[in-house]
Each structure stands twice: as C-alpha cells, then as structure tokens.
C-alpha cells in the first residue's frame, strides 16, 4: 500500500526558503507522478506543482517564480522549495501521488504538515 509522509521545518522566517520532503513507501517513486498541494488555515486547497517520474515539472502560474520540485530516486523522496516566503505561504502542505495518462487525480495523500511563516 502506497504511503506518503511529509517532513520539514514547521516554522520559517519571512523572506527565507521553505523546504519540505515527501517520503514514499510501499512503491517506487520512479513509477508514478507526484504533486504538492497546500491549504492555508481555514481555506481551500491550492495546487502548487507536479513532477513526473522522469523529472519533468509543471508549476502553478501564481507560484512558478518561487517554487522548485525535485526527485531523489535513491531515497524514494521528492521535495518542495518555496523561496522568499511571506505570511501568505503559511499553510498545511500535502504531498500526493498523481497518476498519469488521464488518471491525474490525487491519491493517496500524505497526512500534511503545517508550515508557519513568522519571525
């Protein structure tokens, strides 16, 4: 059974870089596609970006200039970096598998990790 787990600092200072890792167990990261999604407190879901098993990426236009998603196949992990963060980046960050070839829904999801941007 595929499982995902986010990890990373829960507190980031304004203007710094938010870095999160998603560890995949129960399957190979090289077999699927992966996404990051976030949810500000009390608000809805916002898709951040996607990375394919081959390493190609696609990002939300609103975040594209600040976001990088990468794969580490040796560790079965993928990562998210968001630069120049502000309070508006405070959210629960989820990683999720996205199927490919017309099966691009998100399933499963990690449990999520809260990142607060504050000095």
Residues that bind other proteins (CB under 8 A): 35, 44-47, 50, 58-61, 94, 98, 102-112
Choose between 10 and 119: whose C-beta lies nearer to other proteins.
10
Nearer to other proteins, 105 or 119 (CB): 105
Quick one: which of 107, 112, 81 has its CA closest to 17?
81
Residue 61 CB, nearest distance to other proteins (Å)?
6
Q: Least distance in Å: CB of 108 to other proteins? A: 8
Nearest residue (CB) to other proteins, 16 versus 109: 109
Smallest CA-to-CA distance from 108 within 4, 31, 38 is with 4
| Nearest one of 54, 36, 51 to 92, comparing CA atoms | 36
Minimal distance, residue 111 CB to other proteins, in Å: 6
Rounded Cα distance between 34 and 81, Å, is: 14
- How many CB atoms sit inside 10 A of residue 88's CB? 8
**Which CB atom, from 10 or from 102, has the smaller least distance to other proteins?**
102
């Amino acid at each position: 059974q595929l499982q995902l787990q986010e990890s990373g600092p829960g507190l980031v200072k304004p203007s710094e870089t938010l870095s999160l890792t998603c560890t995949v167990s129960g399957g190979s990261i090289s077999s699927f596609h992966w996404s990051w999604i976030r949810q500000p407190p009390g608000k809805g879901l916002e898709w951040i970006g996607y990375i394919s098993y081959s390493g190609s990426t696609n990002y939300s236009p609103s975040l594209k200039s600040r976001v990088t998603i990468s794969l580490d196949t040796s560790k079965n992990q993928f990562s998210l970096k968001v630069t120049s963060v502000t309070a508006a980046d405070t959210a629960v960050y989820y990683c999720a598998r996205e199927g490919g070839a017309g099966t691009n829904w998100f399933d499963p999801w990690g449990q999520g990790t809260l990142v607060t941007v504050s000095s």
